[in-house]
Amino acid sequence: MVPRDDAEPYTLPEAGRLLRTSPARLRRQGRAGRIPLLRGAQGEGVPRAWADAAGGRTATDEEALRCYWLERLAPPSVDARRPLRDRACLPAESLLEEGEVAARLRADASRLRRLDADGTLPALRVDGALRYDALLVDLLARAGEDEKAASGAERRRAEVRAWALFEYRTSPAGGLAPAPPEAPAAPANALAAAPRAWSVPSDLGPPPPPDGEIAAADGFEVVPEDP
């Protein structure tokens, strides 16, 4: 049974001292998907229960905790069904298509998938297609040369990861889907108004009387009704 881990996570420097490794190495392992890496507005960290088990502080199964947190932190797959929201609920002001992102980051489609999987560049599903937050892409493009852009990318990434948990659909009516058109009201005498799509075969008897007339059966008289 996996224990709950509601305590404040260890920062990377704290976890590095406990696990006798560097914060940079923990960050690389986390982004490669080998250890659980928590990303938030306050920075990166690791789950406290997992780090305590990995560092020998507790007797909990470290491997079980690692697998549990990796599964819990994994982003939804491209084909996963996500809760649906209206496009107006997505705070991203500008979105980019895959080709535009690939050109700006000099990355092919497979690398973009890896960046999505490790949480570096979460993909957003909008109207059935993958889109990327333009601000995050711009910050990532400048992160290698600008420390402010790198820190800004961390903060923006945490926001985009939360948005990526949902799927968005644009609706001109402001709802999730346009209302279906109302069916036209049926006429009072729908049977009489409907065109006759059948006829009596000639070999089964005399043809039916014209509309408005009453057929007379053999041995009976038909009494006309008063108008």
Query: Average pLDDT for residues 31-41, to the nearest whole number?
Result: 82
CATH code of the domain in which 140 resides = 1.10.1660
Query: Average pLDDT for residues 125-145, to the nearest whole number?
Result: 91
On whether residue 150 sits in a domain, the answer given is: yes
pTM: 0.48
Q: Are strands 38-40 and 84-86 parallel, antiparallel or unpaired?
A: unpaired
Give the relative orientation of helices 98-105 and 109-117 as an angle to the nearest 10 degrees: 90
Same-domain status, 100 and 67: no
Same-domain status, 32 and 89: no
The alpha carbon of 103 is separated from its chain's Cα centroid by a whole number of angstroms, namely 25
On whether residue 194 sits in a domain, the answer given is: no
Under a CB-based contact definition with an 8 Å cutoff, are residues 78 and 85 in contact? no
Same-domain status, 60 and 90: no
Split at pLDDT 50, 70, 90, the class of 83 is: confident
Same-domain status, 134 and 90: yes
On whether residue 219 sits in a domain, the answer given is: no
Query: Average pLDDT for residues 40-48, to the nearest whole number?
Result: 81
Same-domain status, 52 and 138: no
DSSP code at position 50: H
Q: From the CB of residue 107, how many other CB atoms can be counted at a distance below 10 Å?
A: 17
pLDDT tens digits, 164-173: 889 999 876 5
On whether residue 190 sits in a domain, the answer given is: no
Domain limit, last residue, from 34, 56, 74: 74
Q: In which domain, by residue range, is 64 found?
A: 1-74
Helical spans, DSSP H, in the chain: 12-19, 23-31, 48-54, 62-73, 98-105, 109-117, 134-142, 147-163, 190-193
On whether residue 85 sits in a domain, the answer given is: yes
Any idea which of 3-7, 162-166, 180-184 has the lowest mean pLDDT? 180-184
pLDDT tens digits, 204-216: 455 555 555 555 5
Same-domain status, 92 and 40: no
pLDDT tens digits, 96-122: 999 999 999 988 888 888 888 888 899
The residue type at 46: V
